[in-house]
Amino acid sequence: MKVEESDFGSITIDNNTLHVKKITFSNDNGYCAEFISLGARLISFKGPTKTNPNAMEELTLNYPVLEPMYSCGGYYGCTVGRYANRIAKGTFTLDGTQYKLATNNGNNHLHGGIKGYDKYIWKYELINNAKEIGVLFSHISPDMDEGYPGEVSVNAKYTLNNKNELKWEFIANSNKKTIINITNHTYWNLSGDIMHRDIRDHLLKVVSRTYLPAEDMIPTGEFKHVEDTNFDFKESTVLGPRLDAITDTGKPGLDHCFVFDGNAMFPIALMDPVSKRRLQLSSNQPGIQLYTANWLDGAVPHTQHRAIAFEPQMYPDSINHENFPQPILLPDRPYKHTTTIRFDFYE
């Protein structure tokens, strides 16, 4: 296994020229990850084919250069915070004080606001030991950053091992009571041929009995059973017909939070019947937002349903629902999020 760093380029933000570094690490089985310091962002993940361990193919959707990554609004591969997903009307109350956030997604607050964690240069250290390789990113979010109380220090650790497991661990500490919800926003396509194949023929399995119905992309507070609905993926299901049938978010496709039952070691599985690649995901988070790139409308490959994002996290708008897990971060109780994605082939 090996890890190395290099220059990736520069970008001008708010009249400041920011120099971006790239961290590349690969295991002994032909899997290779590339991250950049802008947004602690995964910009590439390549893997071998089933028949040729030396034939590297791209398994993510991304841009090869900085400017569209920063400006497109798709959150490609980035570490998202301070609060991933949406907060209704950009407001929440904590200990009797109401906080007002940017409404940067219609009427709602999305992925940390105008300048969330995805738009900062993160500091980093390389990780290189016998068990894993990777990068440890760090960032400090000041008190009232984007309207959130408390100075929060965040570590985002991304590693790869010889079990073909890509892992991330987010740890956050605050000097005062606040809210937190961090995730990664990589778009996956297991075909290895993203220019010609979308994910409609992929198979998705989600070990979940309930999902969160929403209005204006905000959960109603109800937990709805998936049985006899288009959200039942307890058995491996071809995505295409389901994506056409799910239309409640304004565009056909998934952009919904599923509740983890806690009974399965890897409750998420994505499979491509042509390449025979399989992605399995496990997380300590209570739910996962599944987003099938419904709103992408650029040139190929940045088109609708070209990829799927798996976003393990607290529920959307949790702070405004007493019956949801609460995303409270206390000074004496660090936030810890761990997720593992395992890659292999199936018959």
Binding residues for beta-D-galactose: 85-86, 185-187, 255
Query: At residue 53, does pLDDT exceed 90?
Result: no
Mean pLDDT score across all residues of the chain: 97
Q: For residue 225, indicate whether it is catalytic.
A: no
Prediction pTM value: 0.97
Is 307 strand, coil or helix? Answer: coil
The reported pLDDT for the residue numbered 187 is: 98
160 pLDDT band (50/70/90 cuts)?
A: very high
Single out the catalytic residue among 58, 146, 165, 311.
Answer: 311
Single out the catalytic residue among 185, 256, 305, 337.
Answer: 185
Which tokens go with 336?
């810890």
Give the whole-number percent of the chain exceeding pLDDT 90: 97
Q: Can you say how many angstroms the Cα of residue 67 is from the centroid of all Cα atoms in its chain?
A: 20
For range 59-80, the mean pLDDT: 95
The reported pLDDT for the residue numbered 211 is: 98
Which tokens go with 231?
């959200």
The reported pLDDT for the residue numbered 55 is: 92
Query: At residue 263, does pLDDT exceed 90?
Result: no
The reported pLDDT for the residue numbered 117 is: 98
**Could you give the strand order of the β-sheet that contains 308-313, starting from the edge strand earlier in sequence?**
60-61, 187-188, 308-313, 287-291, 255-259, 210-211, 224-225
The reported pLDDT for the residue numbered 5 is: 98
Query: At residue 13, does pLDDT exceed 90?
Result: no
Query: At residue 264, does pLDDT exceed 90?
Result: no
The reported pLDDT for the residue numbered 262 is: 81
Q: For residue 311, indicate whether it is catalytic.
A: yes
Task: Return the H-helix or E-strand segment holding 170.
Answer: strand 165-174
Domain 2-345 has CATH 3.40.50.300: no
